[in-house]
Structure 1
């Protein structure tokens, strides 16, 4: 996939701007206020998307949900282990959301993929809807990706939560980033491999159909 300006803007609004808002607000209004301030860019972006295209930005909602969970975790207490555990809430919530969406007519990854395609091309949302209806393999692939990411993120959260509650804090701080980034990298590499495999299968079917025709 080519890196498009719309995709870069989406990443900036949902990740870079919240981080900048947090860092700028932290010295002035404290951690809770800074977390709330970090939710402003994705909320504004979602409002603009809703006004322009009559759709809600799924990625922005996920980012805001993670920030809300962080604020809620802070309200539960400020012990060091609770703060360590708070870091796992976002990925855990996303993983559980993926798994809960599996029985639905369209899993959560469908909406994330549709939002991405809609930004990359004119009429992308309608095009993706058509592919969903016309290609039987696409819903199966989306559900497989939803399942793998849901299990992977939930497992990462469970592992890091156990480490946060049982390991010495110093050891957790050293090892935890490697665990988290290792799992994310593994999921990303699996996704690239799976997409390539599915694309090869589709191309083979289309070539076979062309020969038969």
Structure 2
């Protein structure tokens, strides 16, 4: 998919605006208030999507779930170790949800991809449904991507949790970003490579038979 304005707006509303709301609210309302403030942009976006298209935005739901988990994790206390573990809680929960969706008729990535396509083109959701029914390769590809992302996010959380519980806090703060960005970067690069491979396969399948019998 091309990077279109609608997709950029979606990313800004669900990631940039929550972060800005959190940073600006933190000095005035504390951590709990700042987390609640960060939930407002995706909530408003979800309501707009529901009013316009009669559906709830899947990406916004994931972001809101992460914020709710962060607020809930604060109930476990404020020890340094707990705070470090809370940082990894969201990605781990998302990874588990990815894996749990694998046995379902439609894995989680299906809904994320359909929502994006629906926003990028008129009748995109219906078109994506047709592709899903008529191209078995699309379903298997979506399941593989769900598996890889689910396993990657779950392993990232497990590794960071182990480091948070066993290493000195200062060392964790130095190494943790490299773990997170390294795994996220690896998943992103794999996704780009896999999409390119899928496109090459589709292009070859629609080519006419070779010349010369």
Alignment match, 1:151: 151
* SS of residue in 2 equivalent to 1:88: helix
Alignment match, 1:41: 41
| Superposition TM-score, scaled by structure 2 size | 0.96
Aligned mates of 1:56, 1:209 — CA distance in 2? 44
Post-superposition CA distance 1:96-135 (Å, at most 9, x none): 0000000000000000001111111111111111111111
* SS of residue in 1 equivalent to 2:105: coil
Runs of 5+ in structure 1 lacking a partner?
A: none
Alignment match, 2:18: 18
Post-superposition CA distance 1:149-186 (Å, at most 9, x none): 00000000000000001100000000010010000000
Aligned mates of 1:156, 1:210 — CA distance in 2? 46
* Residue 204 of structure 1, CA deviation: 1.2
Aligned mates of 2:210, 2:153 — CA distance in 1? 41
Alignment length (residue pairs): 211
In the alignment, does 2:200 pair up with 1:200?
A: yes
* SS of residue in 2 equivalent to 1:104: coil
RMSD: 1.3
Aligned mates of 2:153, 2:16 — CA distance in 1? 22
* SS of residue in 2 equivalent to 1:2: coil
Runs of 5+ in structure 2 lacking a partner?
A: none
State the 4+ residue runs in structure 1 displaced beyond 4 angstroms: 208-211
* SS of residue in 2 equivalent to 1:26: helix
Alignment match, 1:126: 126
Aligned mates of 1:193, 1:125 — CA distance in 2? 25
* Residue 24 of structure 1, CA deviation: 1.6
Aligned mates of 1:107, 1:23 — CA distance in 2? 34
- 1:135-174 to structure 2, matched below 5 A, reads 135-174=135-174
